[in-house]
Amino acid sequence: MIFDIIKKRRSVFPAQYNDKPISKKNIEKVLEAANFAPTHKKTEPWRFKVLQGEAKEKLGLFLSLKYMETDPKPKQFKVEKLIQNPKKAAAVIAICMQRDPLESLPEWEEVAATAMAVQNMWLCCTEMGIGSYWSSPGLIKYMDDFFELNSGEVCLGFFYMGYYDEEIPEVSKGPWQDKVTWM
């Protein structure tokens, strides 16, 4: 039931992943789920770049070098984390958004549509027993130095994916009733 999957969805971080690979078929299923996200004026702004193998290592190296280049006081633990997180993931998917060239709708609507595509990916991963996590480091503003991005395309973050062994704890949320006004 979809409600149970929504309640079960969690951030599962690269440090929690095991070495089990994710099949191309399963990654394709996750991407197909993304493509069913709603989109105003049918702009379908989501774009994805799948990184596996050596490409993940190149991403980690790029992020760590860019961090050391741009931070006046880089911390060694963060350099290591930027290098290791992509390596620990079975796959990393760069989440990109292609702005409608006609700008026929507000940019926030295209960002929201892309976020809904990622939520579809996350729910699909949850159903398949794949851990996932959306990371949006400040370094994403430099991704046009790493990827060939089209005009109007921006990187919004990285979707890390990997199988995991440990039990993921339940999350407590405040009551939904506290966030609703009935009129």
* Cβ-based neighbours of 133, under 8 Å, separated by 6 or more: 11, 12, 13, 14, 159, 160
Task: Confirm or deny that 99 is annotated as ligand binding.
Answer: no
Query: Are the C-beta atoms of 109 and 45 separated by less than 8 Å?
Result: no
CA triple 78-144-85, angle to 5 deg: 30
Give the Cα separation of 109 and 8 in Å (integer).
27
Distance of CA 1 to the CA centre of its chain: 24
Positive or negative, the CA dihedral 102, 147, 23, 91 is negative
Q: Is 40 annotated as a binding residue?
A: yes
Closest CA to 157 of 110, 113, 93: 93
Is 47 marked as binding a ligand?
A: no
Residue 9 is labelled as binding a ligand: yes
Instruction: Check whether 136 is labelled as a binding-site residue.
Output: yes
Cα–Cα dist 139/119, whole Å:
22
What residues are designated binding site?
9-11, 40, 134-136
What residues are designated binding site for FMN?
9-11, 40, 134-136
